[in-house]
Amino acid sequence: QVQLVESGGGVVQPGRSLRLSCAASGFTFSTYGMHWVRQAPGKGLEWVAVISYDGSDKYYTDSVKGRFTISRDNSKNTLYLQTNSLRTEDTAVYYCARDQQWLVSGNDHWGQGTLVIVSS
């Protein structure tokens, strides 16, 4: 069965960096686009970024452009989110999610999330 397992979250000071990972199994990872979606405590879902199946296309929400980088290693079935220059407003649970059909058909599988807390 499809499994997505995020890791790498934690408590970090403003301005610092974290690399989030998402280990995928149960499907052919290299044939699917992948997303990061975040949810601040008590708030709604916010789309963060997407990467195409081969890593050639990447798109970001405006608030993270220039600070976050989405990437993938298909040989390791792993998705990444490098988060730099973190701000308190980046505090959230970060979910990785599989793209059902490039950006148009929603996310059919989600991980359990990893919590990032940005605080001094």
Partner 1 sequence: QSALTQPASVSGSPGQSITISCTGTSSDIEDYNYVSWYQQHPGKAPKLMIFEVSNRPSGVSHRFSGSKSANTASLTISGLQAEDEADYYCSSYTINTTPYVVFGGGTKLTVL
Q: Which residues between 6 and 45 bind partner 1 (CB under 8 A)? A: 35, 37, 44-45
Residue window 49-68: x/- pattern of binding to partner 1, with contact defined by CB under 8 A:
-x--------xxxx------
User: Which residue of 56, 75, 105, 120 would you call a contact of partner 1, by CB under 8 A?
Assistant: 105
Q: Are 86 and 16 in contact (CB under 8 A)?
A: yes
The whole-angstrom separation of Cα 19 and Cα 106 is: 25
Which one of the spans 12-20, 25-33, 72-80, 93-101 is the region binding partner 1 (CB under 8 A)? 93-101
Listed in order, strand segments (DSSP E) in the chain are 3-7, 10-12, 18-25, 34-39, 45-51, 58-60, 68-73, 78-83, 92-99, 107-110, 114-118
- Nearer to partner 1 by C-beta: 39 or 84? 39
Minimum distance from residue 19 beta carbon to partner 1 (Å): 21
**Residue located via tokens 């989405």:** 70
Residue choice 92, 107, 114, 118 for contact with partner 1 (CB under 8 A): 107
- 57 alpha-carbon distance from chain centroid: 15
List residues binding partner 1 (CB under 8 A). 35, 37, 44-47, 50, 59-62, 95, 97, 100, 103-108, 110-113
